[in-house]
Chain A
Amino acid sequence: MATPINILEETGWIDFNRQQKQSGAQLLALTAFRDRQIRSHWLEPDGRVVSATFLCRGEHFPSLSPHLPEVAWDEREIHDLFGYIPVNHPDLRPLIRTPRWPRHFHPLVADLARTPVWEDAEPDNPAREVEGEGVTIMKVGPTHAGIIESGHFVFSIMGENVLHMDLHLFQNHRGVEAALQGLDLSLVPPLVSRICGADTVSHQANWAMAAEQLAGHQPSETLVRQRVLLLESERVLSHLNDLAQIPAGVGFQVANQRALAMKETWQRGLFSLFGHRLLFDTITPGWTATAQMADLITLIDDVNQTWRGWRTFVEGHHGFQDRMRDTGTVKRGDADRLGAQGVAGRASGLAFDARSLSPWYHDLAVHTSTDAHGDVAARFRVRLDEVEESWRLLRKLATKLSQESAQDVEWQPPQDLCGETVAFTESPHGLNVHVVALENGKVTRYHIRPATFRNWPVLALAVSGTAVGDFPLINKSFELCYSCNDR
């Protein structure tokens, strides 16, 4: 959705963004560009996208963080990757940069033809720790005891209680946005498909949507339905994974193993339907992988046989429910202030689900499930409901698609595609946004703003004040990916 460029002065910039938040709009992204523009995109409650731009004075721009805490990380990231300085930022420590980065190396404005010469230093940034008698500092990571992604957490604890958890993530920072810069259109899909193994379809869909919007190409209703089918299949996959991990967080092995088995059955089904167990490489501009609808219905029926018994079992297990209740609570006000996304937001009573504003879902009437409690139990339950809702949508789509003749006329974006646009989908983890600028068929800027980037600070808040032993459970109830956060 291309929007006119609306350049504002200092006060206008702050006021505009603050008013957007107050009027109930969703922040899509805060994006910096090489020509010193900082642009914000907002999704209004009626589905329109509006944007505003600030042109840096020298290297400086006024920080929005004191007024909009949810962009505190965005501005730190801009500071690291572009070197632009958010004036009055409350906490301008490095977010992605480490002491190993060469001085004045800002990858998104640097000349990357020369490989950076890394400093001979440890990659650790100073942590924010609580000082005082009886306070213990506990460091976890960056490598972990299980099979999970890398991330470093510094806990300040007093007895059992977490006073503060300082997040030191971005160990998985490969430099994906820079790697996309300068690429030819045809080379974008394989990279975008691998930004995150858990939200791959959503990322692929965003790129397809962006390229089609810029070309003014309207995909057919059938193609759109096939894409929604993939998006919902991915949601089921990711939620089944999370629903397996949450019981594992309290050592509830039976529930964990049965859910893992459902996930495996689902993945095997996806492999025989679409050719990939995680749905990589299934959407490109103008194209979407297709499958036999009857087989999809059989797969849903198959998994459902285990699902019904499993749901009754976990919901009726008092010990498990008791562990989840009132653990890691996020209040609605905090969720809203920090811009919590996806399940994390909906389980704290925020009703936002990007599907309800997406034209791709216009005839599907998606039911949004919310829960006011904000605890682990709420995040667990919202996922249970969402899996069933996705199955309902999948059945509906499969029925429609089986009545439609399959293929579209083949379409490829023009080789000289130009312009800037923003595309978004609701990934299993929440609102996932891409801001894309192209010149002459090449990428000049590719900004990826996944939901997890907003949710990490929400997790830190959920953990403070709880017993440190509850961290694995609370962490699993968010199940945030590191890869698309770190990029």
Chain B
Amino acid sequence: MKRAQKSLQFRHLDAGSCNGCEQELNALTSRFYDIQQQGIDIVASPRHADSLVVTGPVTDTMLRPLGKVWEAVPGPKLLIALGDCAAGCGVFQAAYASHGGVAGSLKEPDVVIRGCPPTPQDILDQLLRITAAKDPGPKV
């Protein structure tokens, strides 16, 4: 199935982050970045989402909740790993309760946004790349 809209409605899930990635993700809602204007929004339920943004190296305690939330997002859907921890290359990879980021615990993410943490501008640029790719039609 092809996506009808050129927008992105993501749900966020913290799987053991240090709160750095969350802070930068949150900054996207400030007037400096104003993601809603770009057709991107953060939704409260996975059922309303078309993508899941995961932060953190995926701790053992968050392993099952992560699987359940991903299940709850209706398809077609995108899995986005945000930050080095979720990308599987952060400083806590070797910790005993870390499961190797999104790829090590759930599946290969569709999009990886590197950085520790990535800046809000980096995040926005990558998200816009997704929305741009979603629409194969001519740009206005």
Interface of A toward B, CB cutoff 8 Å: 98, 100, 107, 112, 115-116, 118, 122-123, 142-143, 145-150, 170-176, 178-179, 190-191, 194-198, 200, 241, 257, 260-261, 263-264, 267, 271, 277-278, 280, 481-483, 486
Contacts and interface: CB of A to CB of B under 8 A. Distances in A.
Interface stretch (B1-9, B26-34, B125-133): B26-34
B57 A280 contact: no
Contacts of A198: 19, 23
Given A147-B42, A197-B20, 7 more contacts: A123-B61, A143-B13, A143-B65, A171-B14, A179-B96, A257-B30, A271-B119
B130 to A, nearest CB: 18
Contact of A179 (B19, B65, B92): B92
Nearest to B97: A175
Given A116-B96, A173-B97, A175-B97, A197 B30 contact: no
Nearest to A241: B23
A148 B44 contact: no
Give the interface residue-count category, chain B. Answer: 35 or more
Nearest to A183: B94
A107 B98 CA distance: 13
A112 B25 CA distance: 34
B80 interface: no
A174 B32 contact: no
The 3 A-B residue pairs with the shortest CB-CB distance in the complex, in nearest-first order: A197-B20, A145-B44, A197-B19
A174 B57 contact: yes
A98 B64 CA distance: 12
Contacts of B59: 171-174
A445 to B, nearest CB: 16
24 contacts: A118-B60, A145-B45, A146-B12, A148-B14, A150-B14, A150-B16, A171-B16, A171-B61, A172-B17, A175-B92, A175-B96, A176-B92, A191-B91, A194-B20, A194-B91, A196-B18, A197-B117, A241-B23, A260-B29, A260-B30, A260-B31, A263-B27, A482-B14, A483-B18
Nearest to A150: B14
A264 B16 CA distance: 24
A271 B23 CA distance: 15
A277 B119 contact: yes
Chain A contact residues: over half helix, strand or loop, or mixed?
Answer: loop
A478 to B, nearest CB: 14
A278 B23 contact: yes
Nearest to B98: A174
Interface centre among A174, A195, A257 (most CB of B within 10 A): A174
A483 B22 CA distance: 11
Nearest to A258: B31
A278 B17 contact: no
Contacts of A257: 30-31
B62 interface: yes
A149 B69 contact: no
A178 B96 CA distance: 8
Contacts of B23: 197-198, 241, 278
Contact of A123 (B15, B44, B64): B64
B87 to A, nearest CB: 14
A453 to B, nearest CB: 15
A301 to B, nearest CB: 19
B19 A196 contact: yes
A267 B27 contact: yes
Contacts of B96: 107, 112, 115-116, 175, 178-179
Contact of A100 (B15, B45, B60, B117): B60
A93 B92 CA distance: 27
Contacts of A200: 18, 20
Contacts of B62: 142, 150, 171-172
A143 B129 CA distance: 27
B9 to A, nearest CB: 13
B116 A172 contact: no
